[in-house]
Amino acid sequence: MPLVTTKKMFQMAYKNGYAIGAFNVNNMEITQGIVDAIVEEQAPLILQISKGAREYAKMSYLRAIIDVAVKENPQIPICMHLDHGDTFELCRQCVDDGFTSVMIDASHQSFEDNVKLTKEVVKYAHAHGVVVEAELGQLGGIEEHVKGVEDVSAHLTDPNQVKEFVEKTGCDSLAVAIGTSHGAYKFKAAPKLAFDVVEKVSKLLPGYPLVMHGSSSVLQEFKDLINKYGGKMPDAMGVPEDAITRASKMAVCKVNIDTDLRMALTAKIRQVFAEKPGEFDPRKYLGPGREAIKKMVKHKLQILGCAGKAGECK
């Protein structure tokens, strides 16, 4: 089947209490690891492309890799999504390039300007059969070109603004700030996510899909490997997986995962270099990295509850 939008995915996720994993891709090995896990677990898939990924790999290469994944796995519904688009021009270009979902992130602007820009993107995207994710509230941390705020608790999404925002813009899903943060160094102590925000929004907008950004868990397994083999990530901390599962059973239908992918790949590459210092064949260290990504993604699909749900999301 061709690339799909997230519309059916989110309908089924909301109805049946799970979330779709949205995984960022930067090269062939990362994409292969993700897709191999998805196929084995028969889960729906959102492949995300960020500004940094486009600059690193070029859109033409990433699109070709994704096209192969779609062609070879017709039983899996796959969406190609623009992560953190920051201008109308970029979103328009991605719609024209064949993306089936785009995110316009104007969360750093005023409410009025956020509404104005989001509405403009929605009008163009919907005219081309593409769905739109927007953002209201601001996350903490920093990842690639996305800079967050220092005090996440002071920038949570206001549930009372959500209904007005969605009605004025017509966006199809909304990334909400509930205390998560971008990057590997999200928190100094175990976070307490604002599930009350999700509950209030779901009452005001029943059936409306929400999105969690900054949701990597910074898994201990990979943090330990990185530190064991010369890395320095002693204070890295992510979102607890039980919190992700809880959100997935509520109105959160999409959970973004990027940092965990990077850590899995990096941990295995470091391990190979440490155990085989003479190794210079990229296949011999990228291969184990790809396998680590596959194993990690399979685990995440269980946490999200979307394993085995590919068929109902077509």
Domains annotated for the chain, with CATH where assigned, are: 7-313 (3.20.20.70)
pTM value is 0.92
CA distance 218 to 188: 13
CA distance 103 to 288: 32
Q: Which of 36, 67, 83, 260 is catalytic?
A: 83
> Mean per-residue pLDDT for 32-44?
98
- Taking only the tens place, the pLDDT of each residue in 196-224 is 999 999 999 999 999 998 877 888 899 99
> Confidence class of residue 239 from pLDDT cuts 50, 70 and 90?
confident
Residue 146 has pLDDT above 90, yes or no: no
* Portion of the chain with pLDDT greater than 70, in percent: 91
Instruction: Give the pLDDT confidence score for residue 185 in this predicted structure.
Output: 46
- Taking only the tens place, the pLDDT of each residue in 278-294 is 999 999 999 999 999 99
Instruction: Give the pLDDT confidence score for residue 74 in this predicted structure.
Output: 97
CA distance 250 to 99: 27
Angle in degrees, CA 156, 161, 167, rounded to 5? 135
> Tokens 């785009």 belong to which residue?
102
83 is catalytic: yes
Of 92, 33, 79, 80, nearest to 53 by C-alpha is 80
Q: Residue 249: count other Cβ atoms within 10 Å of its Cβ.
A: 12
Provide φ and ψ at 184, rounded to 5°.
-90, -20
User: Is 84 in contact with 105 (CB distance < 8 Å)?
Assistant: yes
User: Is 25 in contact with 262 (CB distance < 8 Å)?
Assistant: no
Q: Fill in the DSSP letter of residue 241.
A: H
List, in sequence order, every beta strand (DSSP E) within 169-301: 173-176, 181-182, 210-212, 252-257
* Portion of the chain with pLDDT greater than 90, in percent: 81
Q: Out of 29-43, 146-160, 241-255, pick the least confident.
A: 146-160
> Tokens 């999409």 belong to which residue?
254
Residue 276 has pLDDT above 90, yes or no: yes
Strands 78-85 and 101-104: parallel
Residue 152 has pLDDT above 80, yes or no: no
> Mean per-residue pLDDT for 66-94?
97
